[in-house]
Structure 1
């Protein structure tokens, strides 16, 4: 019986959390992918005659203050933010995995230098680093990707370094080295199976963190420029009109909550 199976045996709520998390994420993904196909429309089209109007067949979630379909803008926003977050996590995870393995395997000045760099970045607030990058590349997906990758790689690096050092010191790895197996074999057979669950958990949490950061910066008008459909920007644009169009405001809020809840439940259910 695996460690995960043993854990789930003593904590039966974990499979339930995983199912709920998967359903939340799948619902968001299906809406973002299939929503515009079921109800065709333009997320940028404006009609001031329909400003803050309620739901109708062409706009099932109503219209915003500029007469744009909230349904189609939300579907577009749920493609943009997760894609930036996933790209950032993929870049940060790859960098953290490679550098963490290098630091653990080589040790010496390489380990000290990389650890010092990670600690220096960790000492700075994450949003501040993203803001610094956005100041150089303002209002672009590239800026968010670079800034979030710079913030997120530290966590992957620290996890990989700690787990790899412990694994490389194990008797099984020492025996494999005596038998003449190279670094690629040691990583594939011994290191990766040990760190994979932690990396997947960190990736889920990192994706949630990146989505929250993008939405938070959009909420304070530092993120993607208007009229780009983005979750935080949609919330801040619709907040003054919450009495006139509560459904329009609640739509990005509920979608963001469902996405973050799903990622958090999936990440928490993978802890061993």
Structure 2
């Protein structure tokens, strides 16, 4: 079933939406055709910019809990899609250095695999089961990015339940923790998909900036890349502030 929804349909009541940054990989690189990689030195400067401006990057779990109690001021959600192994080696040490946490959205059916969905590469290794447990034990949040990194709207109902519900169960068993967040691969979400995610018991779900839906289960996020220095980070922050006031 395909549903067409105009941009920025506001299906939720929790306004304004929190400020959430979307990362993927943090690593040195020679080629990055999909613009998903941030150099570790750049990432460190981006975290320093946040702290210098009175902001602290936190996991979505921490951010949503703070907002429930009327808090959240000065908190910025930090999210990392796909669950690359560089999260352990490059992201986590930088986060701890700056007093931050983050959410890493893991592909539950591909532990220790690679980004096979990126046809042009380069190949990036995904977190192993042991590394996923290590991340959770270090105080980071592990969320679901589905089982196999598929476009959710193209799946039938049975396949969708596997991607959404079974991935949650698998990651909960692996980490020994509740998995409360979902992230839509490719930002692909429609009403059927969003309703399935909510029905599976997720507390929230992350979409992308130009998502056709926006709610607690389709939270818009701001892409951050390797070109984003202080001025671009400021511009993106201001863009978010203007958008949520509409």
Tell me if TM exceeds 0.5. Answer: no
Larger radius of gyration: 1
TM-score, normalised to structure 2, is 0.28
Q: TM-score, normalised by structure 1?
A: 0.26
**Structure with more strand by fraction:** 2
Q: Which has the higher helix share?
A: 1
